[in-house]
Amino acid sequence: MLIELLTKRYPGMRAWLTQRLSALVMAVYSIFAVARFLIVQPSNYGAWVDFFQPLWWRIATLLFWISLCIHAWLGIRDVFKDYVPNPSVRDVLDKLLVVSLWVYLVWATWLLLA
């Protein structure tokens, strides 16, 4: 049943499911982040550096950023489809969106894994 919904017969299902799964990843990360903030309570720069020191936390944060970029791309792309009637303007906006999200993702990766 699920495999059939993800075929070309239902083109929006894949995007819908991807956006829901990315939201789920972000929600789970947010719950863990709040719990970790309450436990560790970093108060200065050194404490924040220590907070992001564990590799597992940096990878989890990177997964959050990847999910955020995917979620934003799908959502804003649909907003452009609905509210920008000119296809050439919409294509330019889509390209600007993709470039900016890639820049944000590369920047987050550089910060987290450097």
Residue 83 in marked binding region? yes
Residue 104 in marked binding region? no
The Cα 51–Cα 114 span in angstroms is 15
Q: List the structure tokens of 75.
A: 């959502």
Q: Scan for tokens 């929006």, then name that residue.
A: 12
3-state helix, strand, coil in the chain (%, to 5): 85, 0, 15
Binding residues for a ubiquinone: 83
Binding residues for heme: 71
Binding residues: 71, 83
